[in-house]
Amino acid sequence: MSSPPLLLGNEIYRHSTLGGKHPLSIPRVSTMLDLVGALGWLAPGQYAESRPARPEELTRFHVPDYVAAVQAAERSLTVSPEDSLRYNLGRGGNPVYATMFRRPATGVGGSLMAAALLLAEGGIIHSPGGGTHHGRPDRASGFCYFNDPVLAILHLLDGGLSRVAYVDLDVHHGDGVADAFAGDDRVLVVSVHEAGRWPHTGLADEEGIGNLFNYPVPPGMNDSEMDALVEGAIGPLVESFRPDALVLQCGADALADDPLAKQELSNLALWRAVRALKGLSPRLLVLGGGGYNPWSVARCWTGIWAVLNGIGIPDRLPAPAEALLRSLNWSRAAGRNPPEHWFTSLADTGRDGPVRDAVRALVGRTRERMRT
C-alpha cells in the first residue's frame, strides 16, 4: 500500500436532503469533508469526486423495473400507490425527494470507482457516502435505495478477486449484504449490530451458512466489548480468511451520542477497530453508513480518515475546525444545547466497561466455528 489513501466525495451531499424531519436530513458527508479540509488533512491527489452510477451498473444487482421506478419517481416527485407498495418508495422511511435517484446512485458510483481503483492499484479508499447496506434487489429498505456494498463486492469479484471480506460495524444488521452473499464462499460477511433492533435479523443462530458471522450485541455495548469482539473474533476471522479485499462499513449509529440506538460506544472504539483491521488486506474500501447526529458522525468519520492516514488526533481542534462544528444546527433536543467537546475535539471520552457474558459467548462461538 505505497500510495496514500484516497477520499471520495461529491457536492450532491451538500445540496440535497431527504426532507422534513427525516433522520438523514442532516449534513454528514459534506461536514466530514469540510472538517478534513479545515484540519489540512488532504494532500494533493488525495481527493476525487465520485460519479453517479449508470442504470446498467445498478442492474448488476437491482432489477431493471425497480431502478426505472426510482428514476421516474425522482422526475415526477410522485409515486403511484401500486409502485409505492411494490418498491417500498414513499413509505417505510424511504421518501420521494428531488434527488432520490441521483444521490444514492452517487453513493454507488463512489463504491464502484473505489472497487475499480482497488483492482488496478490496491491501497486504501474512503467513501463516506457509501454504506447503504439494507437496499434490496427490488425495493428500498431502511433509508437505502440501492446497495452500494453489494455492488462494490460484485465488481471486485467480477474483476478476478477470489476472496472479499465484508465487516459491518453499523448498529443495524447488514441484512441486504448478508442475503446477497449467503452461501457464497468467496465472500466473508461479518456484522456487529444491536440485538433486537430493526431489521430484526442477524441472530447468532441464524448464521447457518458458513460464510456469515453475526454479532448481535445487547443494548449498552461499551468500548471494551467492541475491543473484545475485534481482537478475539473478527480480527482473527478476517486474517484467517486472507481476503484479497476488505470492505469495511463504518456506520456511526452505535455511538453513545446517536439518537436512534441504545449502544454506548465512543468513537475511539470504532477508530481502534479500523486500525486493527486495515492491514489485513492489500485492498481496503471504507464506507460510511448510519449515524444521525451531525457532530458525532462528522467527528467519527474524520477520525477514521486520520487513522487510515496515520495522522495523530489533536487534543484541541484548530480554530477553523472548531468554527465549522459550531456552525452546525440540529433540530433534536440534544442539538439545542450541545456539549462543548462536540465543538473542540474529535475524540470522545472513552467508554470502557465490563465485557458481558453475552459478548464473551459471541467471541467463543466464533472460535468454535474457526476450529471446525
278: left (phi over 0), alpha (psi -120 to 50) or beta: alpha
Q: Which residue is catalytic, options 62, 126, 133, 134?
A: 134
pLDDT at 2: 67
Residue for grid cell 403511484: 80
Give the three-state DSSP class for 313: coil
15 is catalytic: no
Whether pLDDT at 207 is above 80: no
What percentage of the chain has pLDDT greater than the value 70? Answer: 99
**How far is the CA of 23 from the CAs of 58, 86, 260, 289, in angstroms?**
25, 23, 9, 13
Domain chopping of the chain, boundaries: 6-371
Summarised one tens digit per residue, pLDDT across range 278-330 is 999 999 999 999 999 999 999 999 999 999 999 999 999 999 999 999 999 99
Q: Where are the alpha helices (DSSP H) in 16-93?
A: 29-38, 55-58, 64-76, 81-87
Summarised one tens digit per residue, pLDDT across range 91-134 is 999 999 999 999 999 999 999 999 999 999 999 999 999 999 99
pLDDT at 1: 46
Could you list the beta-strand ranges (E) of the chain. 6-9, 47-49, 123-127, 164-168, 187-194, 212-217, 245-249, 283-287
Contact between 103 and 13 under an 8 Å Cβ cutoff? The reply is: yes
Contact between 171 and 212 under an 8 Å Cβ cutoff? The reply is: no
List residues bridging with 192 in a β-sheet.
Answer: 215
The reported pTM is 0.97
Average pLDDT, integer, range 227-233: 98
Whether pLDDT at 208 is above 70: no
Summarised one tens digit per residue, pLDDT across range 288-302 is 999 999 999 999 999
Summarised one tens digit per residue, pLDDT across range 129-166 is 999 999 999 999 999 999 999 999 999 999 999 999 99
Average pLDDT, integer, range 22-38: 96
* Homologous superfamily, domain 6-371: Histone deacetylase domain (3.40.800.20)
